A and B are shown apart, each in its own frame.
Chain A
């Protein structure tokens, strides 16, 4: 974004320095080697993880359905694909649900901090949001699972009674509310701070000139936000959402503690025993798994790895595509 015009400057700077000190470049070369090494290392690690997942998942991927049926928690006559399918579905439902709830709220908080709050309040609020983003997700998970979820039972009951004709809210709502909808809310709370923190930074980058121009043309503050801030921040907001999505996809403990698991392709968010996510399932089944079972679990982990890669690549693509005609330039 704003850094797009800096590299040439830095390049010139480097050249200048090199020209000035032609014989004392050993340190420079060592540093270049080190940073190249670090850059290579991350690729090697990524490749190693992918190789490990493939290698360890291979026995399960190639096993016959009879061998797999011997694992007690894999449904009978199942192939590994039929086992992974509902898990992938559940993982995506949880993450998307969390994102749908968290992004609007995060945008609201970020806009308030960047454009509405008095300056002194904004500074301290921004500090608090940064602090919240640093709290490990398991803390939010504990709070959500032990305190929040219990208080949602009445709301879910009301939803099921009054909006039960929509398949999403099919009733009767489960008691206690160990259902996907609760997981969505808790995951939304968990990813809210990180999305807010990034979105606030992005909104603060809006060129002052754009904002003042909008106001000068007679725009109200809301119109200014709509015309200048939001278009400018769109690609940054997408990156922020993807960061949150990544956190939601891999979240384990909170889901493990809240959800009554089940392996189906159901959209009924208020019924127990319908969904399960990959990460929570691995944590749940690993302790008592046989060698082939561990291999099957690693195969589900491979699926999660692929999903996360795909989501991030899609986000990059969206950001790159929008960059050309967003307010940034």
Chain B
């Protein structure tokens, strides 16, 4: 009996240790979701004694998730009585919930289509719908090839590789664009996303616009070529590329890690991805027409030849209304989104999620609208 009791105590102690260890890894003191646990390298803000209080909920694109964590943490540290929740259910789910009035704001990798816009205007009446491109993220084309860190590729070459017409690393198309690189005699294994995603949609849209001959498929959130390697999520494809040899994929630039990256052909030069280059293509692109004045939807010019612009970017929009039934909600949404669009918010997202801060020109247009929400 005595023996059993000792063993029981030992087991309980072991379980307790395991539980504590579990807490330790799940809930680090400085985790961004933890109240007051703002990333330490975020720009320090003066601790303003704010009188805002209450809670506000949003939902939508998972691409914005890590940026949203930084924004929520930054905003809550300045406004300790406010709680902001963001459910990364996906763009489609976010748009639906926003239109149905389930959430006060939403994140979406695509602007509202005509039908959704009409329904959203009804929801926001008498106010207007706000669509603001507050999360701009470069998509990197990354590969795993021993001894090669960087390759230059024109859009047609990238399209050929992912469409399966260029199958070897020492193919003449790649060799012609990289005369100084010793390319191995190795098969290319393209890896794509297996789940429906905004990253895939933007990548196929880019290939469709820039290399229509090499890429015969329509833009789509689902990968159009079947029978290849694929994995779930940005981290999944990057893991797959890391595990294989001669593999190549497209992924959110912040997840690229130490893999080799492709410099994309823009006009006559090859551009490496960077936050500045990504922001440059948004500035170079025209606004979409036929939408409300508070909608800042950009028609991305993928074929731009503007110097230093990196046209393979994902824009994730923030959806909100200019007026809410409950003025308290409006006040909170206004304060939160103004912070997100502000320099501090954009810098926090750039630090955590590797996104490109919006340009001053865009900010000067968007901020007055966001501050006017009530």
Q: Which residues of A contact B92 (CB under 8 A)?
A: 288-290
User: A284-B195, A287-B89, A288-B91 given as contacts; is B230 within 8 A of A175 (CB)?
Assistant: no
Query: Is B240 part of the binding interface, using a Cβ–Cβ cutoff of 8 Å?
Result: yes
Q: Does A116 contact B (CB under 8 A)?
A: no
A312 in contact (CB, < 8 A): no
Query: Considering only CB atoms and an 8 Å cut-off, how many residues of chain B contact the other chain?
Result: 30
Query: Is B247 at the interface (CB under 8 A from chain A)?
Result: yes
Taking a contact as CB atoms under 8 Å apart, the answer to whether A272 and B91 are in contact is no
Contact assessment for A73 and B196 in the assembled complex, using a CB-CB cutoff below 8 Å: yes
- Determine if A264 is an interface residue (Cβ-Cβ < 8 Å): yes
Q: Which of B92, B230, B240 has its CB near the most chain A CB atoms (within 10 A)?
A: B230
B144 to chain A, nearest CB (A): 9
In the complex, A263 has a CB within 8 A of chain B: yes
Q: Is A200 an interface residue (CB 8 A)?
A: no
In the complex, the answer to whether B228 meets A150 with C-beta atoms within 8 Å is: no
Q: Is A126 an interface residue (CB 8 A)?
A: no
In angstroms, Cα B246 to Cα A288, docked, is: 30
- If A73-B222, A174-B189, A175-B247 touch, whether A273 touches B229 (CB-CB below 8 Å) is yes
As a 0/1 sequence over residues 73 to 112 of chain B, the CB contacts with chain A under 8 angstroms (1 = contact) are: 0000000000000000111110000000000000000000
Indicate the member of B195, B220, B228 with the most A CB atoms within 10 Å: B195
Report the minimal beta-carbon distance from B316 to chain A, rounded to whole angstroms: 14
Contact A72 to B222, CB < 8 A, known contacts A175-B189, A288-B195: yes
Check B194–A284 contact: CB distance below 8 A.
yes
| Docked complex Cα distance between A272 and B229 (Å) | 6
Is B6 positioned at the interface, with any CB of A under 8 Å from its CB? no
Decide: A287 near B195, CB < 8 A? Known: A72-B222, A150-B243, A175-B189: yes
* A104 close to B (CB within 8 Å): no
Question: Is A234's beta carbon under 8 Å from chain B?
Answer: no
The answer to whether the Cβ of B221 comes within 8 Å of any Cβ in the partner chain is: yes
Q: B221 near A288 (CB under 8 angstroms)?
A: yes
Q: Contacts A260-B228, A260-B231; is A176 near B247 (CB within 8 Å)?
A: yes
For the complex, give the distance between the alpha carbons of A181 and B247 in Å.
20
A172 to B244, CA, bound (A): 14
Cβ-defined contact, A288 with B90, below 8 A: yes
Q: Is B66 an interface residue (CB 8 A)?
A: no
With a 10 A CB-CB cut-off, give which of A174, A256, A260, A263 has the most chain B CB atoms: A260
- Tell me if A287 and B62 are in contact (CB < 8 A): yes
Given A72-B222, A73-B222, A175-B247, is A261 in contact with B196 using a C-beta cutoff of 8 Å?
no
List, in ascending order, chain A residues with CB within 8 A of B62's CB.
Answer: 287
A262: B residues at CB distance < 8 A: 226-227
Smallest CB separation, A283 vs chain B (Å)? 8
Asked if residues A176 and B232 are in contact (CB atoms below 8 Å), the reply is no
Q: Are B229 and A287 in contact (CB under 8 A)?
A: no
With a cutoff of 8 Å between Cβ atoms, the chain A residues found around residue B221 in the complex are: 72, 288
B245 at the binding interface (Cβ < 8 Å): yes
Residues of chain A lying within 8 A (CB to CB) of residue B229? 174, 176, 178, 260, 272-273
How many Å from the CB of B200 to the closest CB on chain A?
A: 10
B197 at the interface (CB under 8 A from A): yes
Looking at A174, A264, A273, which has the most chain B CB atoms within 10 Å of its CB?
Answer: A273
List CB contacts (< 8 Å) of B185-224 with chain A: 187, 189, 191, 194-197, 220-222
1/0 contact trace for A260-303 toward B, CB 8 Å? 11111000000111100000000011011110000000000000
Whether B243 lies near A285 (C-beta < 8 A) is: no
* CB–CB A273/B196 < 8 A: no
Q: How far is the CA of A149 from the CA of B93 in the complex (A)?
A: 34
Contact partner of A261 (CB less than 8 A), chosen from B191, B194, B243, B246, is B194
Cα A38 to Cα B194 in complex, Å, equals 42
Q: Is the Cβ of A274 less than 8 Å from the Cβ of B195?
A: no
Q: List 22 A-B contacts (CB under 8 A).
A: A72-B220, A72-B222, A73-B222, A175-B189, A175-B244, A175-B246, A176-B244, A176-B247, A178-B240, A260-B229, A260-B230, A262-B227, A263-B226, A272-B227, A273-B228, A285-B196, A287-B90, A288-B91, A288-B92, A288-B196, A288-B221, A289-B92
The 4 closest A-B pairs by CB, nearest first: A176-B243, A176-B244, A288-B196, A273-B227
Q: Which residues of A contact B (CB under 8 A)?
A: 72-73, 149-150, 172, 174-176, 178, 256-257, 260-264, 271-274, 284-285, 287-290
Q: Interface on B for A, CB 8 Å cutoff?
A: 62, 89-93, 187, 189, 191, 194-197, 220-222, 226-232, 236, 240, 243-247
